[in-house]
Structure 1
Amino acid sequence: MYIKRRLNEELETFKNLRRCYAGSKKTPHRYLATVGVGGNIGDVKRRLEHLYIFLKKDKRVTLLRTSLILKNPPFGFADQDDFFNSVALLKTSMQPKLFLDYLMRLEKKFARKRSFANAPRTLDLDIIFFDNRVVKTHKLQIPHVKWFERESVLIPLMDIQR
C-alpha cells in the first residue's frame, strides 16, 4: 500500500507503507553508492519492490535505504509514459566500473532492452554518487551528469536524507 501525494500537475510521490528499507546494518563493504532507480514500462512500483528484495539478498551489496517513488514526466524522448523514480543507498566493495557492470546485469535481469537514447524501459539504474569519487570515462561519469538539474533525482534524494 502506498500513500500518494500530488506535488503539482506533473509530479506525484508514493511512499510504500509495507516495505520501508532503512537501516544501519553493519556491513563488510567499503564504498557507499547512491543509485538512481526508475522505469516506465509495466508495474514499475512492483518491480522496484522485487529489485529491493533481490538487493537485500545479494551478498555483493548491502541495501541501506530507499527513498519514496516519484512519478514524473519523461524528458528527452517525450512520447512515452511517465517514469517512476527512486533512489537507493547501497554499500559495496566493487570498484565503480565493476559496480556499473553489476547494475547493467541487473537491468537485463529485470528485462531492460536498450533500443535508443531515453527510450521507454522496464528498469533504469544509474550511479549518481560513488563514495567521494569523481570518474570520467567514455562509459561512466560520477557524479552522474546533470543529477542536480533533475527532479527525478533531487526529490528522492531529499527524502532519503531525512
Structure 2
Amino acid sequence: MSPTTAPTADERIFVGLGANLGDARTTLEAALAALAALPGTRLLGRSSFYRTAPVDAGGPDYLNAVAELRSSLAPEALLDALQAIEQQHGRERPYRNAPRTLDLDLLLMGGQRQHSARLTLPHPRLHQRAFVLAPLAELAPGLIIEGLGPVAPLLAACADQAIERLDGR
C-alpha cells in the first residue's frame, strides 16, 4: 500500500496514546473521542489505562493506552489527523522524548510495512516498549505483528519495564 492508498476495510489499525502532563486521564478520554470522530473512522475498542515511567526521558509517569480503529484514511492522512489532535491538546516538541500533554502514535495498519521520512509501519520501537505491548496484548491478545511475531513473547521480553494496569476493562 502506498502512503496515499486507503487501508482495506478489514485491516486492524492500532494507535498508541500517552500523556504525562496535565490531567492525563481526561486528555486520553478526549483523544479517544476525537479518534472516533475522525472522518471515515470507527473506534472499535480501547485498552485499559496503564501507568508507566518515562522511557529515555525524565518527567512524571505516563498514562498510556491503545485504541483499535477501522478507517478509510490513508496512512499519511491518518498521521496528519493524529498530529492535529495532538496539537488541539497543546502538544509541543521542544526536544526528543520531552514530556507531553498528548502523544498519539500510529502503531500498526494491518500487516502493512512502510518506511518514509514521516512514517514507519509497524512503529519502529513498539516491540521494545511495555507501555505499548501490554495494552496491545490486552486489546488483541492473539495479534501477530508483521515482521516481529506474536505480541505475547514481545511483551515477555519487556518484563523488566515497570507497568501498572489502572482500570480493568
Kindly state the Cα deviation for residue 114 of structure 1 after the two structures are TM-superposed: 1.2
Q: Residue 44 of structure 1 is aligned with which of 24, 43, 46?
A: 24
Q: Residue 112 of structure 1 is aligned with which of 87, 91, 96?
A: 91
CA distance 1:81–1:89, change in 2 (3 Å): same
Note the residue ranges of structure 2 that are not aligned, 5 or more in a row: 1-7, 142-169
Note the residue ranges of structure 1 that are not aligned, 5 or more in a row: 1-27
**Matching residue of 1:33:** 13
**Matching residue of 1:55:** 35
Query: In the TM superposition, what are the counterparts of 1:65-84 in structure 2 within 5 Å?
Result: 65-77=45-57, 79-84=58-63
Any conservation in 2 of the 1:29–1:61 contact (CA below 8 Å)? Answer: no
Q: Residue 77 of structure 2 is aligned with which of 98, 118, 140?
A: 98
Kindly state the Cα deviation for residue 42 of structure 1 after the two structures are TM-superposed: 0.8
Name the amino acid aligned to 1:42.
Answer: G
1:153 aligns with 2:101: no
**Matching residue of 1:18:** none
Name the amino acid aligned to 1:83.
Answer: Y
Identity of aligned residues (%): 32
Kindly state the Cα deviation for residue 31 of structure 1 after the two structures are TM-superposed: 4.2
1:124 aligns with 2:103: yes
Name the amino acid aligned to 1:53.
Answer: A
Kindly state the Cα deviation for residue 32 of structure 1 after the two structures are TM-superposed: 2.8
CA distance 1:139–1:36, change in 2 (3 Å): same
Bigger shift: residues 45-54 or 103-112: 45-54
Name the amino acid aligned to 2:126.
Answer: W
Q: 2: CA distance between counterparts of 1:71 and 1:152?
A: 8
Q: 1: CA distance between counterparts of 2:100 and 2:90?
A: 8
Give the 3-state SS of the residue equivalent to 2:50 in structure 1: strand
Name the amino acid aligned to 2:129.
Answer: R
Give the 3-state SS of the residue equivalent to 1:87 in structure 2: strand
TM-score w.r.t. structure 1 length? 0.77
CA RMSD of aligned residues (A): 1.6
